[in-house]
Structure 1
Amino acid sequence: MIFRKISQFVLFTILVIALAACGSESKSDDSGNAADKSDENKGTITIGQINWPENIAVTNMWKAILEDKGYNVKLKLIEMGPQMAALAEGDLDVAPEIWLPVQDKSYYKEYKDEANFFEEPWYENGKVGLAVPTYMEDVNSIKDLNEHKEKFDGEIIGFEPGAGTMLVTEDVIKEYGLDYELVDSSTPVMISTIKKAVKQEKPIVAPLWKPHYIFSEVDLKFLEDPKNTFGGVEKIYMATREGFSSDFEKVSKWMKNFKLNDKQLGELMVYTKNNQDNPIKGAEKWVEENQDLIDKWMK
């Protein structure tokens, strides 16, 4: 009887110790996993995206870089006007593409006190204007357009309404007294319309910009702009919401160090274009091949 009680006590003691050990291991694993997750996920950054080739390329590049560093990155497809408003309201972290001094000057003036516009551009060789196919030898200046209105059906084929270049094109129509309608569409529709017209050697005029892969695929020329309404060389800047630099100090510093030249941006655009269905794959490949450049931004 006594032996049985002792045996039961011993078994009970062993069971308690075993359960305690399991609980201790479980707590250790949970805390370890939580720590790992905390290290891996350094916060969520939402970047505004517009369906422009260079924008798709750069936003996916940053997604690839930052997710490799442990951040969660969301790309939010949103047109320029709403994008700047969302940035000012704090609903968006990063607006990666502001063209200055001309194209997006209206947005800069409106939101400069509500968002943080970077002082230095990440790209310094932009150009914007009205473009036509090179086979249109009689149309070389914006001033020539009214004379050839019937050829173009009185239409300038545009892209997303609200984009800075679309707003400037409206100014160009007024400044030059053009009897034309600026047709809203989307960037993919505009590009496909240009390609189709060039293939059939038909007249077409559209507001375009460099860098853009369309210039390597079809022969186009910018029309002279004697009144300089589109401006000269445009530079591309980033902007972030108020408080972003304190919430994501390292990322803010990296983005301020970010620079691309024509060759680098051109290659990045090709990589993402070749992976149109999943541009992040192209961006990841470019990031892998340009790690030395990216390391400079991370200093």
Structure 2
Amino acid sequence: MNKCRKELSIILVLLMIAVLTACGGTKDASNSEETESEINGEEITIGQINWAENIAVTNMWKAILEDKGYNVKLNVLDMGVMMQALESGDLDAHLEIWLPVQDANYFKEYQDTVNFSEATWFDNAKVGLAVPTYLEEVNSIEDLNEHKELFGGEIIGFDPGAGTMDVTKEVIEDYNLEFELLTSSEATMLVQIGEAVESEEPIVAPLWTPHWIFSKYDLKFLKDPQNTYGGVEKIHHATRDGFSEDYPKVSEWFKNWKMNDEQIGKLIDYVEDAEEPLDGAKKWIDENQELVNKWVK
């Protein structure tokens, strides 16, 4: 009788192990199916603008997502086309929306058709007109008209579709500046700043931090008494309608993303110094894997 009871106990234990194993297998299969349904081979298309920090973060996320099995394409667009592509669904994400001031016009126009994340990845951004520090007599936007001839009546700008360029037009109106805002590209603007500084010539341009230009040259923001440029800016991301349903994990990772001045500065340096931006981004990821793991947990 005891022998029968012992055999029955062994059988029951084996049955319980089998059931638990089956349950675990079902869970693993479910997780696998969920992952495969999100990583479906389709491209996640991220919009990129040829600004130093944007090139850096878009390549960083391309490297992170591709390491997780996603297929990522970077699509270079200007800001106006970027927002239209998000609205139409031709673009999945754009990683750089400056609020509350710089991109307020785009937020107002597209807030009902594009998902602007409440989460921010950088909380200490600044925008304003900047000049070389050796221009000791020019410290405020209000000083510019007095020194109009010094600057040739020109503010050296960049991409015409950028929110900061629109705000700079407002600055010209608010301060009644007798200046013309020139458009080009960020790369051209930075070359002109570099040439001016090396020759110790005057130049004024709309700039922002985070940006490597401030570590390379001695520049200062002009005081903005009317606060047209605003105070501290925060950088958000935006996605097309339905992105969070199609890619819930990636959507959550974007919301977890957070960087400080030192981290974004080093990332920009690595990307700028590399032959290929993606290589610089991968180098930074290797050195900051613990931080990245917190985003993609």
TM-score range, shorter-chain basis? 0.7 to 0.9
User: 1-side partners of 2:48 and 2:85: how far apart?
Assistant: 12
1:298 maps to 296
Q: Which runs of 5+ in 1 are unaligned?
A: 1-36
2:47 equivalent to 1:67: no
Task: Tell me by how many angstroms 1:43 deviates.
Answer: 2.7
User: 1-side partners of 2:255 and 2:157: how far apart?
Assistant: 32
2:280 is aligned, of 272, 282, 294, to 282
Alignment check: 8 A CA contact 1:155 1:181 kept: yes
Task: Tell me by how many angstroms 1:289 deviates.
Answer: 1.4
Tell me the TM-score normalised to structure 2 length: 0.86
SS of match in other structure, 2:206: strand
Task: Tell me by how many angstroms 1:39 deviates.
Answer: 9.7
Task: Tell me by how many angstroms 1:38 deviates.
Answer: 8.9
User: 2-side partners of 1:245 and 1:81: how far apart?
Assistant: 23
SS of match in other structure, 1:67: helix
Task: Tell me by how many angstroms 1:272 deviates.
Answer: 0.2
> After superposition, what is the alpha-carbon deviation per residue over 1:68-122, rounded to whole angstroms, capped at 9, x for unaligned?
1111111011011110111111111001000000000000010000011111211
Alignment check: 8 A CA contact 2:38 2:247 kept: no
Alignment check: 8 A CA contact 1:160 1:187 kept: yes
Amino acid at match of 1:258: W
Q: 1:146 to 1:96 in 2, by over 3 A?
A: same
2:259 maps to 260
Amino acid at match of 1:293: L
Alignment check: 8 A CA contact 1:244 1:252 kept: yes
Task: Tell me by how many angstroms 1:168 deviates.
Answer: 0.1
Alignment of 1:91-240 (within 5 A): 91-240=90-239
Alignment check: 8 A CA contact 1:39 1:70 kept: no
Alignment check: 8 A CA contact 2:38 2:246 kept: no
Q: Which moved more, 1:134-143 or 1:38-47?
A: 38-47
2:86 maps to 87
User: 2-side partners of 1:60 and 1:193: how far apart?
Assistant: 26
User: 2-side partners of 1:139 and 1:40: how far apart?
Assistant: 54
Alignment check: 8 A CA contact 2:55 2:277 kept: yes
2:55 maps to 56
User: 1-side partners of 2:245 and 2:296: how far apart?
Assistant: 17
2:75 maps to 76
User: 2-side partners of 1:218 and 1:203: how far apart?
Assistant: 13
Amino acid at match of 1:243: G
Aligned residues: 262
Aligned-pair identity in percent equals 64
Q: Which runs of 5+ in 2 are unaligned?
A: 1-35
> After superposition, what is the alpha-carbon deviation per residue over 1:125-174, rounded to whole angstroms, capped at 9, x for unaligned?
00000000000011000000000000101000000001000000000000
User: 1-side partners of 2:196 and 2:40: how far apart?
Assistant: 48
Indicate the structure (1 or 2) with the bigger Cα radius of gyration. Answer: 1
Amino acid at match of 2:127: V
Task: Tell me by how many angstroms 1:291 deviates.
Answer: 1.1
Alignment check: 8 A CA contact 2:79 2:162 kept: yes
Q: 1:268 to 1:129 in 2, by over 3 A?
A: same
SS of match in other structure, 1:125: strand
Amino acid at match of 2:144: L
Alignment check: 8 A CA contact 1:255 1:297 kept: yes
1:270 maps to 269
> After superposition, what is the alpha-carbon deviation per residue over 1:178-214, rounded to whole angstroms, capped at 9, x for unaligned?
0100000000000000000000010000000000000
Alignment check: 8 A CA contact 1:46 1:93 kept: yes
